[in-house]
């Protein structure tokens, strides 16, 4: 009996590949269930990987492997000289998917764009609250309701968006998953049948894969979209096998039950790399972990003191102890995969003697301080307490006494914002749209003091640079401004930049055409399996 079962399972796993001859099935062992299939309402990458990327497209798309937006459903666009009016020319003859539950009668037009974005910014829109608890986290987070004055249809294939103020990251925002374009025709037909909530369960889009079925917490099935406007996918079927445990995902990958998996255990990476049947990609994630000094309080108001302390932090030890090597020490406040990353900025070297001397020169003696450590594991900092202990150890060597404190997570987030916070707070950030503005202004701008700016750092020179970059549409010009801002940042050192964690993607040997996205997306549009 047992042998029979064994044989049966062996045969089963063999057939996945054998069956590939006539229909290529690509299995992705995803790490969690999608929250829903209407990407506008959610924020989790897991949800976007199962909805926005396979099923939908956006006006602009991120160029694979970069954080730069390029033409998507919009073939071209025009920005008015004051930077407030965006006119998009839509790609003609883009067909929506035909599914068991919907057959489109028309191609993509301006109405679909107005519907998709409009419902997220207008509370009076009939689709603003189409299911109980509907909310538009990202549209809100990116300030769309206040930013966008109007969206108008010029003709069937032209849409005009008017902003209340110039905002250069707007194009990148439109390439984000939440700005996916849905079919208004489909929504109307659901409305007519009184089944509005289906929009979040049975999705229809223009993307490379057509939704087939979702079995909760277990499997999502897609098939190739035969009418796709771009290059047709090379695989016929795409299956997400939801497997929340990383060790189990690895086991399935080894057993050939899936072709690619996200988020391996750091402990397994070494053996994955030495497995001849696997290949492993790695890249810095779009994140940063930092230790923010309170720059309004003595002696941390002096840049020399902050730099001295930065010199005493052994970042490599943190990377080893917390990430088992699966991270890189951070120099700039933005990750190296982001455009405008300034390679010429050098990190403060780990040098205890120099640090001691700098502190003495600044007249600081017998310093004791608090270091705040988050109570939870985050992608950019798996174990804050362990990192804080290493910092404590290092600071002790230069005569600085450290007390590590922590609060319950919600409380931590709240208290660390306070302007009169006592001590340096460890925290981090995962980027949203790949635009440097999303790090530099959001986390370090003057208007974020008392909020996201945990260093309470308001530097005129820095702030002017990033504010100017925000309203400049010219990419080269923006790049220059951000590069300069990073130089100012390093000179002033409001943070100790700790690390960028690595995103590691193990996959079967035969998989080709997978590009790792700096935004952490998993897209299978161009993936193929070798015979």
Partner 1 sequence: MADAITAKTPEIVTTGQMRRQMLKEFWFYFSENRGAVIGLFVFIALVVVAVLAPVIAPHSPFEQYRDAVLRPPVWAEGGSWSFLLGTDPVGRDILSRLIYGAQYSLFIGLFVTTLSLLGGILVGLIAGYYRGWIDTVIMRLMDIILAFPSLLLALVLVAILGPSLTNGMIAIALTLQPHFVRLTRAAVMEEKTKDYVTAARIAGAGPIRLMFRTILPNCTGPLIVQATLSFSNAILDAAALGFLGMGAQPPAPEWGTMLAEAREFILRAWWVVTFPGLAILITVLAINLMGDGLRDALDPKLKRS
Partner 2 sequence: MFGLLLRRLAVLIPTFLGVSIIAFSFIRLLPGDPVMLLSGERVMSPERHAQISAQLGMDRPMVIQYFDYLGGVLTGDFGSSIVSKKPILDQFWALFPATVELSICAMIIAVALGIPAGVIAAMKRGSIFDQGLMGIALVGYSMPIFWWGLLLIILFSGTLQWFPVSGRISLMFYFPQVTGFMLIDSLLSGQKGAFSSAISHLALPSIVLATIPLAVIARQTRSAMLEVLSEDYVRTARAKGLSPFRVVGVHALRNAMIPVITTIGLQIGVMLAGAILTETIFSWPGIGKWMVDSVFRRDYPVIQGGLLLIAAIIMTVNLIVDLMYGLINPRIRH
Residue numbers at the binding site for partner 1 (CB under 8 A): 245-247, 250-251, 265, 267-268, 271, 408
Nearer to partner 1, 232 or 267 (CB): 267
Shortest Cβ distance from residue 319 to partner 1 (Å)?
14
Q: Which residues are at the interface with partner 2 (CB under 8 A)?
A: 2, 4-6, 8-13, 15-16, 19, 25, 27, 33, 35-36, 41, 131-135, 137, 140-141, 200, 213, 215-219, 221, 239, 241-245, 248, 251-252, 255, 257, 378, 408-411, 413-414, 417, 427-430, 448, 451-452
Q: Which listed option, partner 2, partner 1, none, makes contact with residue 271 (CB within 5 to 8 Å by class)?
A: partner 1
Which whole-number Å values give the CA distances from 135 to 117, 120, 130, in the listed order?
13, 8, 10
Q: At what angle do helices 437-444 and 460-471 cross, to 10 degrees?
A: 140
Q: Count the alpha carbons within 13 Å of 488 in the hemisphere toward its beta carbon.
A: 19
- Compute the distance between CA of residue 110 and CA of residue 18 in angstroms, rounded to an integer: 44
Q: Which is nearer to partner 1, 251 or 452 (CB)?
A: 251
Can you tell me which residue has the tokens 């935004």?
A: 519
Q: Which partner from the list partner 2, partner 1, none does 451 bind, CB cut-off 5 to 8 Å by kind? A: partner 2
Q: Which is nearer to partner 2, 126 or 248 (CB)?
A: 248
Alpha-carbon distance of 278 to 271, in angstroms, equals 10
CA atoms within 13 A of residue 478's CA, in its CB half-sphere: 20
Least distance from partner 2 to the Cβ atom of residue 220, Å: 11
Are β-strands 209-215 and 158-163 bridged in parallel, bridged antiparallel, or unpaired? unpaired
Supply 121's token pair. Answer: 């910014």
DSSP string, 424-489: EEEEEEE-SSS-THHHHHHHHSGGGBTTTBTT----HHHHHHHHHHHH---HHHHHHHHHHHHHHH
User: What does 200 bind: partner 2, partner 1, none (CB cut-off 5 to 8 Å by kind)?
Assistant: partner 2
Is the CB of 89 or the CB of 415 nearer to partner 2? 415
The residue (of 104 and 520) whose beta carbon lies closer to partner 2 is 520
Count of CB atoms within 10 A of residue 277's CB?
11
Selection from partner 2, partner 1, none that 141 binds (CB < 5 to 8 A by kind) is partner 2
What's the CA gap between 86 and 80, in Å, rounded?
7
Report the nearest approach of partner 1 to the CB of residue 290 (Å): 24
What is the rounded CA–CA span in Å between residue 438 and residue 169? 8
- Rounded least distance, CB 436 to partner 1, Å: 35
Reduced to 3 states, what is the DSSP secondary structure of residue 17? helix
Closest approach, Cβ 35 to partner 2, in A, equals: 4
Q: CB of 13: closest distance to partner 1 in angstroms?
A: 17
Q: Which is nearer to partner 1, 266 or 496 (CB)?
A: 266
CB of 246 to partner 1, least distance (A): 6
Nearer to partner 2, 91 or 454 (CB): 454
Query: Considering the complex, what minimum distance in angstroms separates the CB of residue 33 from partner 2?
Result: 8
- Cα 203 to Cα 217: distance, rounded to the nearest angstrom: 17
CB nearer to partner 1: pick between 394 and 483: 394
């Amino acid at each position: 009996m047992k042998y029979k079962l064994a044989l049966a399972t062996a045969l089963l796993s063999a057939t996945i590949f054998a069956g590939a001859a006539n229909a290529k099935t690509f299995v992705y062992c995803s790490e969690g269930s999608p929250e829903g299939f209407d990407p506008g309402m959610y924020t989790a990458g897991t949800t976007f990987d199962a909805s926005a990327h396979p099923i939908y497209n956006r006006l602009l798309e991120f160029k694979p492997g970069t954080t730069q937006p390029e033409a998507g459903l919009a073939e071209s666009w025009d920005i008015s000289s004051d930077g407030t009016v965006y006119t998009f020319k839509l790609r003609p003859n883009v067909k929506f998917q035909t599914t068991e539950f919907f057959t489109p009668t028309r191609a993509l037009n301006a109405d679909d764009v107005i519907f998709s974005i409009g419902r997220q910014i207008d509370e009076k829109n009939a689709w603003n609250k189409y299911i109980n608890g509907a909310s538009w986290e990202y549209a809100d987070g990116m300030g769309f309701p206040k930013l966008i004055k109007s969206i108008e249809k010029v003709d069937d294939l032209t849409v005009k968006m008017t902003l209340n103020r110039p905002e250069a990251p707007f194009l990148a925002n439109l390439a984000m998953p939440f700005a996916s374009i849905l079919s208004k025709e489909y929504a109307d037909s659901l409305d007519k049948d009184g089944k509005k909530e289906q929009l979040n369960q049975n999705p229809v889009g223009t993307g490379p894969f057509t939704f087939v079925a979702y079995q909760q917490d277990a499997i999502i099935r897609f098939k190739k979209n035969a009418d796709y406007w771009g290059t047709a996918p090379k695989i016929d079927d795409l299956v997400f096998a939801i497997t929340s445990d990383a060790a189990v995902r690895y086991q399935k990958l080894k057993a050939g039950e899936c072709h690619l998996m996200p988020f391996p255990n750091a402990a397994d990476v070494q053996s994955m790399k030495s497995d001849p049947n696997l290949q492993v990609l790695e890249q810095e994630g779009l994140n940063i972990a930092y230790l923010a000094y309170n720059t309004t309080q003595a002696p941390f108001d002096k840049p020399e003191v902050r730099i001295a302390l930065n010199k005493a932090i052994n970042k490599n030890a943190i990377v080893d102890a917390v990430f088992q090597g699966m991270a890189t020490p951070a120099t700039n406040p933005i990750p190296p995969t982001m455009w405008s990353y300034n390679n010429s900025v050098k990190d403060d070297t780990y040098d205890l003697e120099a640090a001691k001397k700098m502190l003495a020169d600044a007249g600081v003696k017998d310093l004791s301080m608090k270091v705040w450590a988050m109570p939870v594991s985050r992608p950019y900092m798996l174990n804050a307490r362990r990192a804080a202990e290493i910092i404590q150890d290092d600071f002790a060597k230069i005569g600085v006494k450290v007390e590590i404190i922590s609060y319950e997570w919600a409380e931590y987030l709240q208290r660390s914002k306070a302007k009169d916070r006592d001590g340096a707070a460890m925290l981090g950030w995962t980027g949203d749209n790949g635009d440097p503005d999303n790090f530099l202004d959001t986390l370090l701008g003057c208007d974020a003091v008392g909020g996201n700016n945990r260093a309470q750092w308001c530097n005129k020179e820095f702030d002017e640079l990033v504010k100017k970059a925000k309203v400049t549409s010219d990419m080269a010009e923006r790049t220059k401004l951000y590069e300069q801002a990073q130089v100012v940042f390093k000179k002033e050192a409001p943070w100790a930049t700790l690390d960028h964690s690595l995103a590691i993607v193990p996959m079967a040997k035969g998989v080709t055409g997978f590009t790792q996205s700096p935004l952490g997306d998993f897209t299978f549009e161009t993936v193929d399996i070798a015979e």
